[in-house]
Amino acid sequence: MALKKTGGLADVIAGQTAISTVGKEGKGLNYRGYSIHDLARQGTFEETAYLLLYGKLPDAGELKCYKEKLAGLRKLPERLRKILEQLPASAHPMDVIRTGISALASFEPEEPGRSAQHIADRLMASSGSMLLYWHHFHTSGTRMDTDGGGDGIAAHFLELLHGRQPEERHERALDVSFTLYAEHEFNASTFAARVTASTLSDMYSAITTGVGTLRGPLHGGANEAAMELLERFGSPEEAEAGLMEMLAAKQLIMGFGHRVYSVSDPRSDIIKEWSKTLSAALGDMELYERSERIEQVMRREKGLFPNLDFYSASVYRMLGIPTSFFTPLFVVARIAGWSAHIIEQRVGNRIIRPTAEYTGPEPGAWLPLADRK
């Protein structure tokens, strides 16, 4: 049936993009023609963000200026700090980051002189600040300055979170995860952000659309859900037994499978290596081994492979990041991709408005109120 075939818009080409290729024969995953392996292994998140937003890799001078610019955009307006203080301690960090971004729109709206790229840079540089300002205010009453600390966005986040300079290995692991999370073609949140942009709405509205769409566990929320899964089990053996029960009950296992990839997620091997490296440095391989056992069971029983979210969970855990911050970290990185797509959508824009196959009742006669049951 036609509806089943197109359910979830699977295999539908919904537009054109020059930003990235996902799962395309002979091209693999690349951002503007650069392989994800090179970007993650040899570059930094700032180089990736610059590439996505400004269309080319920065040279040494441009990169230095860009990093200085981003560092100068970490500070939060006083009135935004007040708003963050009003959000309850029990709020989900995704509510905090979405509200913070939304509030910033009213203090620094998109207007002539404040470009889309500038807003993207501002949001990448300050969304971690929003989250950690709210976090420290509610856990220790501290009204922290968010402008200092760390050279890049990853280092800044870890330093603000832990109150000390991060180990280089930790900074690098988070930075790599940001590069991997930065962009992924017409995924659900990017497509949603493009739909909002296609109505000629503003940057902040399109970005908050992306945040809301990313949150669900079938999309970005899967990294948080994968950690919750891992924590249910105390050992690889328990994980195997528990997983067999979940599969028998036909439950979804978060962090596995993908709409576009059918054999593997090219980002997974890179983040898995980091999970192993951090475990070895910690001198405790148990969480890694528990994760690997789940991977083996999923391959054996379902022929399914881990996606980026699965090993990101153990990496973030080993960086001492609370589970509820996992999806917001995905937001920080994906702002780069969303913004590049919003900017691309605006060029030669046409409103995105598909049609639906109608499956409701045939037209009938109007029923006066007294005749209705």
Beta-sheet strands, E only, within 25-98: 28-31, 34-35
Task: Write the interaction track for ligand COA spanning residues 159-198; mark x where CB under 6 A is met and - where it is not.
Answer: ----------------------------------------
Q: Would you say 249 or 367 has its CB closer to ligand COA?
A: 249
The answer to the question of residue 224 lying near ligand COA (CB under 6 A) is no
Contact 119, 204 (CB under 8 A): yes
Q: Which of 230, 314, 229 is nearest to 278 (CA)?
A: 314
Q: Which of 18, 65, 200, 252 binds ligand COA (CB under 6 A)?
A: 252
- Interior angle at CA 211, CA 294 and CA 325, nearest 5: 50
- How far is Cα of residue 247 from the mean position of the Cα atoms in its chain? 27
The answer to the question of residue 300 lying near ligand COA (CB under 6 A) is no
Q: How distant, in Å, are the alpha carbons of 46, 149, 330, 339 from that of 49?
A: 5, 20, 14, 10
The single residue of 121, 258, 265, 341 carrying the catalytic annotation is 258
Nearest distance, CB of residue 202 and ligand COA, angstroms:
28
**Burial class, 177, CB count within 10 angstroms (exposed 0-12 / middle 13-18 / buried 19+):** buried
The answer to the question of residue 12 lying near ligand COA (CB under 6 A) is no
Measured N-to-C along each axis, helices 168-181 and 45-54 cross at an angle, to the nearest 10 degrees, of 30
- Known active-site residue 92: no
The CB-nearest residue to ligand COA is 257
Select the span of 131-139, 231-239, 248-256, 332-340 touching ligand COA (CB under 6 A): 248-256
- Interior angle at CA 153, CA 147 and CA 155, nearest 5: 85
Residue 242 half-sphere exposure toward CB, CA atoms < 13 A: 17
The answer to the question of residue 295 lying near ligand COA (CB under 6 A) is no
Q: Which of 259, 289, 299, 322 binds ligand COA (CB under 6 A)?
A: 259
The answer to the question of residue 307 lying near ligand COA (CB under 6 A) is yes
Nearest distance, CB of residue 6 and ligand COA, angstroms:
12
Catalytic residues: 219, 258, 309
Residues in contact with ligand COA by the rule CB under 6 A: 8, 218-219, 222, 252-259, 302, 304, 307, 309
